[in-house]
Amino acid sequence: MVIGMLTGFAGVLTIFYDYLGQLHNKSFLIGVVLALASTITWSFGTVYTSRQKLSVGILFNVGLQMLIAGFVMLIICGLTGKYANLADTGHASWFALIYLVIFGSLIAYSAYVFAISKLPPALVSIYAYINPIVAVGLGWFLLQEKMNVNMILGTLITLTGVYLVNREFKKLKTDTIA
């Protein structure tokens, strides 16, 4: 299972290989560090949530988390002054926001929290390997972004890692039943 997770991580690195040269750029490096920190804290939260079964319903739990995150973001935006006036944005921004609220928050996050309540955290966490593949694929398909050999190779490596993790879970599940 660990080999599968490391393989998946290597695949994600391969997908973004062309951008690794930008690590000397301070802004880019800060973004990478923040992304890694958020992934690590998300992982800890996933494990904690899966072990601490709450007595409240899943949808209440999701709503409460989103409400708290919204308040935190309002405070951060207020302190930094970095926010967008929605009255000044165009239709494309509104459609993007509506899409993210419906699909990114209501549907995807609710499905994630539901999966956490029913599946082991390591199995649920492989979504983090699938997200870059989906993003790159949609960017190529919808926005005609470039697709190169590294991205294709990284996708194959990542999918191999996901396959290894899933195969190991099936073995563990079969072993515990037998």
Complete DSSP assignment for 53-98? --SS-HHHHHHHHHHHHHHHHHHHHHHH-----GGG--HHHHHHHH
Identify the pLDDT of residue 75. 94
Q: Residue 119 is encoded by which pair of tokens?
A: 């599946």
Report the C-alpha gap between 40 and 38 in whole angstroms: 5
* For the chain, percent of residues with pLDDT exceeding 90: 7
60-74, 122-136, 162-176: which is most confident: 60-74
Identify the pLDDT of residue 37. 82
Report the C-alpha gap between 7 and 157 in whole angstroms: 7
Total of domains in the chain: 1
CA atoms within 13 A of residue 173's CA, in its CB half-sphere: 9
39-48, 65-74, 129-138: which is most confident: 65-74
Q: Residue 131 is encoded by which pair of tokens?
A: 């997200």
User: What are the φ and ψ backbone dihedral angles of 104, each rounded to 5 degrees?
Assistant: -75, -35
Identify the pLDDT of residue 175. 67
Domain that holds residue 51: 2-177
Q: Provide the angle, in degrees to the nearest 10, between the axes of the packed helices 108-118 and 58-80.
A: 130
76 pLDDT band, cuts 50/70/90, is very high
pLDDT higher at 62 or 80: 80
